[in-house]
Amino acid sequence: MTLTTNIRKTVTELADGRQLIYFDDCETSLATARDIRDERPLGDRAASGTMRLDALTGDWVAIAGHRQNRTFKPPADECPLCPPGSGMVPSEIPATDYDVVVFENRFPSFSVKASPAAHASSCFQERPAAGRCEVVCFTSDHSAHFSSLSKSRARTVIEAWVDRTLALSALPDVEAVFCFENRGQEIGVTLHHPHGQIYAYPYVPPRTAQVLARAHAHHAGTGRLLGADILAQELADGARIVSSGEHWTAYVPFAARWPVEVHLTPHRDVPDLPALTSPERDELAEIYLDLLRRLDGYYVNTDGSAVELPYIAGWHQAPVRQGREVSRLYLQIMSVLRAPGRLKYLAGSESGVGGWVNDVAPERIAARLREV
């Protein structure tokens, strides 16, 4: 299958029946044949666990004990995301090389194969953790980062996000799709190969629900989209703008919670990634790479070298079946690093009652990102 940008998509399966999808760059130098079989003796695919409702808050919590046995910080020559032949262990990706690959997580928090629920009472509610978790490998180069990708490769990743958002949103149990990347051991990364993940939740996650409630209230009072009004006021103020193009603007939010935090938002009102036009996706590849490279220059070590910023980057999209008319797409990038070698810990106030304290003024964050 060839996508609209001439990116080639090939769908196959791993040895345990999990889906694996190749997305080949439009300018790829790789062969298009993707019929190499996964010959590993994997047995049956793992089931996800269950979800339990926190009766105090109304939040769902996935109970996934099987994930305790997932791969944990293997050395580079044992990386399961590198092409086979480059390491000592069989790869999750049987092709000898690849551009971008998406596959179902071997240790999923949510899956089409979910364990049955055992509890059902007024305070103890439990459901199967139905949904899907996918891994997105940005490149076969183990030493790369997203920020080091070419514009063409970044564009392929964007197309993969779009494709998977559409496919996962069509699943009957899915209520929200979240594409994200964790980078850096400070974030808790257990595989250092450049990759991200996609979670397809069987419920609307708490932050998404909170933002949606605010968006509904704003729209009811003004007739306008909350995200659009925030962008307009940030552009008018200018103090927290990092960069801006024809279709996108990056800014530090007025009430940033993290010592480094940036939002990247389209100028047009769109609910999710599939709603972006081809020109908007093209510029996104450019401005996102520029933003990530700025972030990698944000901190400098005492020897003058740049710090590779640990971060979480996540796409906030409209829920699948509700609130789409008031929702507005944006990317949030946040880092726990408050200085080289110093982390922001979510201690008593943040973890206990959700009362956030930021030691860095948002205007200062934006000024530094403009500078670099």
- The CA distance from 254 to 343, in Å, is 22
Q: And the tokens for 319?
A: 């829920």
Amino acid at residue number 112: V
Strands, E assignment, 267-329: 311-316
The SS3 of residue 1 is coil
DSSP E strands: which ranges in the chain?
8-13, 19-24, 50-53, 60-63, 100-104, 126-128, 132-137, 176-183, 195-201, 241-244, 248-251, 260-266, 311-316, 330-335, 337-339, 342-343
195 as an active site residue: the answer is yes
| Cα distances (Å, whole numbers) of residue 208 to 12, 178, 214, 258, 260 | 32, 10, 10, 18, 21
Q: Tell me how crowded residue 282 is: count the other CB atoms within 10 A of its CB.
A: 16
- Judging by DSSP bridges, how do beta strands 195-201 and 126-128 pair with one another? unpaired
User: 143 exposed, middle or buried (CB, 10 Å; 0-12, 13-18, 19+)?
Assistant: exposed
For residues 222 and 199, what is the distance between their CA atoms, to the nearest angstrom?
33
Catalytic one of 195, 218, 263, 316: 195
Known catalytic residues are 195
